[in-house]
Structure 1
């Protein structure tokens, strides 16, 4: 009889993904640049990117005030002039900020994630359902806007999409780590680990999809068992992904793990329901 697969902390997951991973190299496209981000509600923020760290500062109240902080960052570029910038704001334990910056078209999407406290994670799924809450205690907010120019009625902002729904994809993160995703509907996807430190594990989790360009998507998921936030760009032209996974290092909630991930993608099939 086989052993029961066990859910592991995000820190242990990072250790499994690290060797010979398919992550992208650091992108220098933003180094030394200062960008002004104009949010859809009219608020503004300034992004200053230095060699060692970056700083996102709200200039006005509104959406921008919820997206601010400073910290050491990672920047990667899956396509020319599109940069994923990610960092953990200093002094804000459990918080994460990610920005997708389309420099050629002057567009951005901001993702602010917050990990739950230990007492929130300990609550049962049934109690959350009774309270009308999401099953996952991981919180996430999104904002869209323009770079260095105000948003107008004609701005083609990044937007939610259903183009991934129905796809069944396989993702090879390293020689030892391989997963399968099935994008079920606009709210949920299912995953299973085919090979690696989570082999045999599977679940259905809350997710969000945004279209950035033709066959390029921002995919964000929030896990409910082990508190986890994933922020990944999926390029179906190059069959490549790049992003990050964020969670707690261990089971004591005192230390964080925010590690890069990248995969070689394979489309297995596309299900279309005849309803």
Structure 2
């Protein structure tokens, strides 16, 4: 399906486009019955207990809750757990990279803008010195099942993806290209699918999890969207999710999985005088 360049679609419509024959990784059953105690570098301590359908958490012996979750792994011993939680009238996207190999974790907590925030134009935001995207993401690190000590989480911001141009095939009908421009931004374009012809440059965050394994997060400014994927350059696979409003009315969320077969197109290296 060819889409005119100006025809932006909602995240719900994007989910529908990705769904047919999508290359989704299966839900892992091996976390059922397990428990992880997450010791955050900032002092939080949150216990996460898994059963087959639900994730249950208890924070510092006070707040607690449960939610359905998705758990996948593109590297043995490293899990991506994703779920939504609602607290104090706000919906939150929670993604956990649980690294049992180094007994560490990275947590990404995301928030979509409320409707009034989306009414600010990009020009006004730029003149005010504000971020052009109103999607928020916070990153936290810590240790698994052992009290936090400085340096106990090896996950760290990286520039190793910068300069890489990658092609991602999410299904027989959905193909995208990413160009990782610098440590703060990346460019994307849809080569085939429901967004064919669309492209943009958006805020990006890169973390190295292990050798040739990266956590990549992006925040879009046109249609409020939080994207999060693990990229395995060694095994040419990616897995994650896209989070946004299902439609234009801000009353329904879409949080759908995306997995791909990916391959390197080329790498650009800029000479620095």
Q: Shared fold (TM-score greater than 0.5)?
A: yes
Q: What is the Cα-based RMSD across aligned positions, in Å?
A: 1.7
Contact 1:247–1:257, Cα closer than 8 Å, also in 2: yes
Distance in 2, Cα, partners of 1:148 & 1:183 = 34
* Structure 2 residue 197 is the aligned partner of structure 1 residue 200: yes
Aligned residue in 1 for 2:134: 137
Distance in 2, Cα, partners of 1:138 & 1:242 = 21
Distance in 2, Cα, partners of 1:264 & 1:184 = 21
* Structure 2 residue 34 is the aligned partner of structure 1 residue 33: yes
Contact 1:171–1:265, Cα closer than 8 Å, also in 2: yes
Aligned residue in 2 for 1:237: 234
* Structure 2 residue 77 is the aligned partner of structure 1 residue 81: yes
Contact 1:5–1:198, Cα closer than 8 Å, also in 2: no
Q: Residues 52-77 of structure 1: CA distance to partner in whole angstroms, max 9, x if unpaired?
A: 2112332179xxx9xx7531100011
Distance in 1, Cα, partners of 2:47 & 2:206 = 26
Q: Residues 83-134 of structure 1: CA distance to partner in whole angstroms, max 9, x if unpaired?
A: 1000011455432101010112211000000000111112101111222210
Q: Residues 149-206 of structure 1: CA distance to partner in whole angstroms, max 9, x if unpaired?
A: 1122342431100000000000000000000000000100000000000000000000
Bigger shift: 219-228 or 144-153?
144-153
Displaced runs of 4 or more, over 3 A: 2-5, 90-94
Aligned residue in 1 for 2:160: 163
Aligned residue in 1 for 2:68: 72
Q: Which runs of 5+ in 1 are unaligned?
A: none
Aligned residue in 2 for 1:257: 254
Counterpart of 2:85 in 1: which secondary structure?
Answer: coil
Bigger shift: 9-18 or 82-91?
82-91
Counterpart of 1:88 in 2: which secondary structure?
Answer: strand
Contact 1:189–1:207, Cα closer than 8 Å, also in 2: yes
Contact 1:168–1:270, Cα closer than 8 Å, also in 2: yes
Distance in 1, Cα, partners of 2:164 & 2:58 = 38
Q: 1:226 aligns with which of 214, 218, 223?
A: 223
Contact 1:146–1:157, Cα closer than 8 Å, also in 2: no
The 5 A counterparts of 1:46-65 are 46-59=47-60
Displacement after TM superposition at 1:5 (Å): 3.9
Q: How many residues align?
A: 269
Displacement after TM superposition at 1:235 (Å): 0.1
Aligned residue in 1 for 2:245: 248
Contact 2:244–2:254, Cα closer than 8 Å, also in 1: yes
Contact 2:4–2:197, Cα closer than 8 Å, also in 1: no
Bigger shift: 81-90 or 261-270?
81-90
Aligned residue in 2 for 1:211: 208
* Structure 2 residue 269 is the aligned partner of structure 1 residue 272: yes
Distance in 1, Cα, partners of 2:61 & 2:118 = 34
